[in-house]
Amino acid sequence: FLDALKSGEHGAYIKNNFSEQFLNDFSMEEHLSFFQQVSMMHGGFKVHTIEKSSEDELIVIAKSQKRDAWRRIHLQTKPDPPHKLTLFGMDMADSPIESEAPPKKMTEREILDFVERELNTMSKE
């Protein structure tokens, strides 16, 4: 799934890996639009933490490759091979790294630098 976000082969991934029910829950245009938006905004994700892993469900905390953003990604599949995707969800998540360390107080200069970097990143998209 994460490789499909980066590769740009969204249509092929959707057709080959979504269950028939999930495929029909939304139009192909809506599925593609979602993949394209996530790909454009985040570029991909690097998994940091696996919150849940079972035969038919995976929940991970992952960091965006384009932004300083963390997401909880939830995938659910049919229990039987070929384990087609039946559910996909993505929510904002707190940084697991920041929650492990005490918060750092930023100087005014650090705040201004951070805001400038974020605005530059957003203006390039």
Provide the domain limits for residue 73. Answer: 2-123
Name beta bridge partners: 76: 57, 87
Model pLDDT for residues 37-48, shown as the tens digit of each residue: 999 999 999 999
- Burial-class residue 87 by CB neighbours within 10 Å (0-12, 13-18, 19+): middle
Map tokens 């530059």 to a residue.
120
Q: Which residues, 6 or more positions from 66, have their beta carbon under 8 angstroms from its beta carbon?
A: 41, 42, 43, 121
pLDDT score of 90: 95
Model pLDDT for residues 22-34, shown as the tens digit of each residue: 999 999 999 999 9
Angle between helices 28-42 and 10-17 (to 10 degrees): 130
Ranges of residues in the chain with a pLDDT under 50 are: none
Q: Identify whether the C-beta of residue 11 lies closer than 8 Å to the C-beta of residue 23.
A: no
Q: How many domains does the chain have?
A: 1
CATH number of 16's domain: 3.10.450
pLDDT score of 125: 65
